[in-house]
Structure 1
Amino acid sequence: MPSNNIEDYSEGNTQAHKMAAKQQEISVTEFFEKNKHILGFDSRSKSLMMGIKEAVDNSLDACEEAGFLPDIYVRVERLQEEEEYRITVEDNGPGIIHKMIPNVFGRLLYGSRFHALRQSRGQQGIGISATVMYGNISTGKPAHVESKIEGKDEVAWKMDITIDTKTNRPIVKNDVAFIWEGKDHGTKIEYTTKGRYITGKQSIFEYLRNTAIVNPHTKIEFHDPEGKKYIFERATEQMPPKSKEIKPHPEGMEIGDLMKYTQNTQQKTVNAFLKNDFSRITERIADEILTKAGVDPSMKPSALSRDQCKAILSAITQVKIMAPQTDCLSPIGDTLIKKGLMHVLDGLRPDYYATPVSRSPKSVNGNPFIVEAGIVYGGEIPSDDQVTILRFANRVPLLYQQGACAITKAISEVDWRRYGLEQRGGKGIPFGPAIILVHVASTKVPFTSEGKEAIASFAELQSEIEQALRLCARNLKSHLNKMERKTKTGAKFQIVQEIIPAIAKKSSAMLNRPMPDLSRTISKIMNVVWIKAEKKKDPQKGFVITYTIHNYTTQERTIGLHTHLPKSCANLTLFSNPYFVNNMTDDGKVMWEVKNIQPSTSLTISFELKGELADTFDADDVYISGINPVLVMGAEALPGDWGIKGLEIIESDENIPADDEEEETEAEDLGDE
């Protein structure tokens, strides 16, 4: 019988014995030491940025998990040694207990989130320890860590840490307790690394700026090597919802995963295994799956063969299972995406922030995910270049490998020409004055590598990204159409109001007769209901929103007016308005019913919005019902996906056909969805 002792192999004289004697196990740290590029440390400029990214991600996760509004401090100092930099990242998180500090910063694949099925930035336990390892290797200097946990009587601890790459264990020196003046709790890491500081799209500044966009509850202070200070102020004090750990969802699961679960389960029967070890599977659904698969519900899970597991997976695709629950995820949300974009991109003075879109949760490989998208258009955004793409995964900016990312591929597959952007050949990244944002939130984002730089192109994921982009692009197209019609009608209206009265005045003077009332004549020529939106900031009232409805038609009109408000900002003036219908919905949708507006008359609806999210409301995002939208200027028809009922069109003479091209585009959009 062959021996398992390597020393026995060395006693033989064959080549196989000699080769066997050389074989030995290597530690994970030793592997990554020789393959630093896998973790993203493959160039000086990228290595500098990646280290800061990992430290900031850890700080944000820790602060949010503890319920603290994050305050992040980042400093980059250029040292005298060639290409050496000292990096400092400090937070106000809960701190790390003394005995755990060495393992957190000095041991790869050591963490608390790898097995937890919930959204978080860090999961692998590699990032910050790999940063320390790279700093040790490139400069030979240890990382310095300081941390203090909550409590008046708690002291802070500081220590120097290096990593033994042979054993994947931390080496600690200068472990000292001290009083951290002015610091109630938090962690600071200071390390020295080889690097190259750059500016531009893949710079540290750009990473921190993009982080501020999708984390508007965070304050970030950045000091660059030139001594310049940048502060990204907190845009909101609204913390993101905490993600909860869940069981895997069966949709999209691979056969190898299912077979692994059958061997590790504590359940005694297959029926109990499906019902208790997966989310969204009830007793009825478990019975239906097993019946379709032809599997005995009472057999042991560990006894399932490969063919039986395959049959179960096939049956799962034939049974309607509820979408994954969303409490395991922490999406940004439509309003906060817009708030973050407005807060950070205000210097570009864009014309329009297309209403962001959040899709319903889906699952890939058993892991729930949500796709969110937003578009910024116009202003000082360059119009002759490709659009800027902002990619995010679990609230973390992705700055590298754009071409290999599922987000970029999804953007390239959308026909942007239908939505007002230039796209040569109908495919590829579009051109125009726009910024496209896509955020993927998941319990396990399928990155293309451990460096977490690009998202893998799974069919389910890429399809969801495309659907979110199309919905968002429809909002942009609707806005552009509205502005174009408003401009044309406005020019016509100005001509009619100026020329006809001038002609009438001269005619009256020539004939020596009184000036006639031209209001009905102008209304007949215009034949439009004009809805004018206005938003003004008032120091006491917040934002005052006013809708003025002008009836420039020859009939009296009844109109339903709809919009979508930040619910937390609504003032009592909204509900006291006599035209207000019922109550606000759970997601902030409201309606007014304006009855019997006489020809050539107008009326006004006004209300106030207060609060930190009030500025995200765009008064032009207003919709109408009860009237043919072709007759209306300044508002679009109520979308069918709003889930609420508007007023029905009751005037038979208003069945004016809409523009053929717009009807076709809308039909294609709905078909895509």
Structure 2
Amino acid sequence: MGEQESFAFAAKGGAASARAAGPARAARKRAPKPAPGGRAKGAPPAAAEPRAAEAPRARAPRERSRATATELARQQRDISVSEFFAKNRHLLGFDNPSKALLTTVKEGVDNALDACEEAGILPDIRVEIRQLDETRFRVAIEDNGPGIVRAQVPKIFGRLLYGSKFHRLRQSRGQQGIGISAAGMYGLLTTGHPVVITTRTGPKHPAHHFELVIDTKTNEPKVRRDEEVKWEKDHGTRVEIELEGAWRGGQHSVDAYVRQISLANPHARIEYLPPKADGPAEVVVFPRVADELPPETAEIKPHPYGVELGVLMQMLRDTQARNLRGCLAGDFSRVSTRLAEEICQRAGVAPTRRPQEMTREEAEKVHRAVQATKIMAPPTDCIAPIGHELIEAALRAEVKADFYAAVTRRPAVYRGNPFLVEVGLAYGGDLPAEEPIQLYRFANRVPLQYQQGACAITKAATSTDWRSYQLQQPRGALPVGPMVLLVHIASVWVPFTSESKEAIAHYPEIVKEMRLGLQECGRQVGLFIRKRRRDADEAKKRAYIEKYIPQVAIGLQQILGLSDPQRDRVVADLKHVLERSRKA
């Protein structure tokens, strides 16, 4: 706005203000003047007006501090993995005291089972929980595994994201190298006590006793004690963690977890010593159902269908192959030399091209060519199912029921990763008939205790039409009836929804396979329920015949004057006729 326009705008505004102020001045002139007593002549007496409160003085705005780029840069620093998870412990399953206690037991048992199976040893595991006071517990997990080499003990228990299973495609309970070290870190944060480890690798080697803590700022272990001790075991490991926790029963309790782990691992013998406030607790023994270890699984290479573009570019940079053809044939599963040449031809990239020198555009062409090429599914010797026979045997040992069924599906693939689904159920017996069924969820033989509603197993179970199998089912919920349902997924990489490994992601291929397994078991239990109902109806009709035919025969005897032998013959003939007509 120019200077002249500003003056014009001010002049117009001043004229308008003068016009608006004119009537107001006229009204003041017409108003009567107040009398010396303070009241205008002819005006009615008015009530005393309250004295206006003084307005609070406005504080001067605080001047905002402004940081320079140099000061911001000075504040930046690395964040260690331990430090991150120490502040975000809920991501690892340590949300609350009761869940923290369960997670600690779970991580210790998982490591013990994996160690025993990889060493070819039938697991003998002991779980001890001692309550020191109202909110403090001491958890001890002891196994008969191969033990741990002395130099590796501090790294395994005192460093997060350290392990042997993350970089290999092979079925195992642990995947990330976080669990047991995170449990020790939680115990250190809540009680200040170190993790205590006793391990021995053989009868000719001494046992080593460690006490160590995690330095969360550096994600490095600090050993407080390292000494040789006498131990009666020839080989094995014992881990003790003191932590703050809460003891509870029910579906999410340690009792339920130990019971379910014995179902999914029938080859293991488990001794369980729960805490008891009113005296010494009794050891609960879950005996070994099978005397053979699960089949040994093989490590496989990544399948081309499951490799994304960024991962492919990294593999091309890291490969030891001299050309693209050798990289595709040597670093991937189910890719032969002929198939590698076909992929190169489809991508328009020379098979002799050095992988380390390939551009992003060339890598993207290869990635698209892989997706357009028909490649066999990955091998399935990398996964070891429980087996329908062992699932049924374990259910018979733990659940008193009238009918048992189990199914092991054929392997399938999601994102290039092979997986397999197993389903087992127990129906009838002493199970509650008016409550929703009990759903046991397992991934790589590990029970999943929390986040049931967010799990693909629950989605598959609730989306199955159980009414067609003679079970009641509210809309969008689990069926109601006396049944225990077990669903297990085995895979080289289970797609958990979070680091705490509590629920399985909803991949369509996985949900479909689970639903097919549930339907197969559902048909079997449906046949059993229908047959039992038919048998009940037949027994009811037979009871009517046995109750009323003798009365009819007595009436005929009185009317016709029959003798007792004739009456008995009439009873037999009538029963025969009615039985034949009922069966027809």
Q: TM-score, normalised by structure 2?
A: 0.79
Instruction: Measure how far apart 1:256 and its partner are.
Output: 3.4
Moved more, 465-474 or 117-126: 465-474
Instruction: Measure how far apart 1:493 and its partner are.
Output: 8.0
Match of 2:216 in 1: 165
Moved more, 482-491 or 434-443: 482-491
Match of 1:463 in 2: 512
Greater length-normalized contact order (CA 8 Å, ≥ 6 residues apart)? 2
Instruction: Measure how far apart 1:524 and its partner are.
Output: 7.6
Match of 2:121 in 1: 68
Correspondent of 2:157 among 100, 105, 124: 105
Question: 1:424 aligns to what SS in structure 2?
Answer: coil
Correspondent of 2:498 among 424, 449, 454: 449
Q: Relative to structure 1, is the Cα distance of residues 445 and 289 closer, same or farther in structure 2, using a 3 angstrom cutoff?
A: same
RMSD: 3.2
Cα distance in 1, alignment partners of residues 569 and 352 from structure 2: 99
Cα distance in 2, alignment partners of residues 435 and 408 from structure 1: 14
- CA deviation string 1:162-187 (max 9, x = no partner): 11111111111221112212x11110
Seq. identity, %:
45
The letter of the residue matching 1:245 is E
Match of 1:133 in 2: 185
Q: Relative to structure 1, is the Cα distance of residues 344 and 315 closer, same or farther in structure 2, using a 3 angstrom cutoff?
A: farther
Instruction: Measure how far apart 1:452 and its partner are.
Output: 0.8
Q: Relative to structure 1, is the Cα distance of residues 469 and 15 closer, same or farther in structure 2, using a 3 angstrom cutoff?
A: same
Correspondent of 2:467 among 413, 417, 430: 417
Q: Compare the two structures and name the one with the higher strand fraction.
A: 1
Correspondent of 2:100 among 30, 47, 54: 47
1:517-536 equivalences under 5 Å are none
Task: Indicate whether 1:79 and 2:132 are aligned.
Answer: yes
- CA deviation string 1:30-67 (max 9, x = no partner): 11111111111110100111111101100000011111
Kept after mapping to 2: 8 A contact 1:493/1:526: no
1:199-210 equivalences under 5 Å are 199-210=249-260
Task: Indicate whether 1:437 and 2:491 are aligned.
Answer: no
- CA deviation string 1:456-509 (max 9, x = no partner): 111221221112111221222232233334545666789899999999x99996
Match of 1:280 in 2: 334
Cα distance in 2, alignment partners of residues 157 and 15 from structure 1: 53
Correspondent of 2:246 among 191, 196, 216: 196
Cα distance in 1, alignment partners of residues 574 and 334 from structure 2: 66
1:526-565 equivalences under 5 Å are none
Question: 1:455 aligns to what SS in structure 2?
Answer: coil
- CA deviation string 1:518-548 (max 9, x = no partner): 99999986778xxxxxxxxxxxxxxxxxxxx
Match of 1:331 in 2: 385
Kept after mapping to 2: 8 A contact 1:249/1:368: no
Match of 1:185 in 2: 235
Task: Indicate whether 1:243 and 2:294 are aligned.
Answer: no
1:263-412 equivalences under 5 Å are 263-290=317-344, 296-302=350-356, 316=370, 319-345=373-399, 349-354=400-405, 356-412=406-462
Cα distance in 1, alignment partners of residues 543 and 358 from structure 2: 77
Cα distance in 2, alignment partners of residues 416 and 280 from structure 1: 39
Cα distance in 1, alignment partners of residues 411 and 281 from structure 2: 42
Question: 2:304 aligns to what SS in structure 1?
Answer: coil
Matched pairs, number: 507
Moved more, 209-218 or 161-170: 161-170
Cα distance in 2, alignment partners of residues 479 and 160 from structure 1: 56
Instruction: Measure how far apart 1:142 and its partner are.
Output: 1.0
Instruction: Measure how far apart 1:15 and its partner are.
Output: 1.2
The letter of the residue matching 2:69 is A
Q: TM-score, normalised by structure 1?
A: 0.69
Q: Relative to structure 1, is the Cα distance of residues 377 and 257 closer, same or farther in structure 2, using a 3 angstrom cutoff?
A: farther
Q: Compare the two structures and name the one with the higher helix fraction.
A: 2
Kept after mapping to 1: 8 A contact 2:426/2:484: yes
- CA deviation string 1:361-404 (max 9, x = no partner): 12223322111111211112112211111000110000011111
Cα distance in 2, alignment partners of residues 389 and 71 from structure 1: 27
Cα distance in 1, alignment partners of residues 81 and 73 from structure 2: 21
Cα distance in 2, alignment partners of residues 495 and 420 from structure 1: 26
5+ residue gaps, structure 2, are: 1-65
Kept after mapping to 2: 8 A contact 1:199/1:205: yes
Question: 1:478 aligns to what SS in structure 2?
Answer: helix
Match of 1:145 in 2: 197
Cα distance in 2, alignment partners of residues 410 and 199 from structure 1: 27
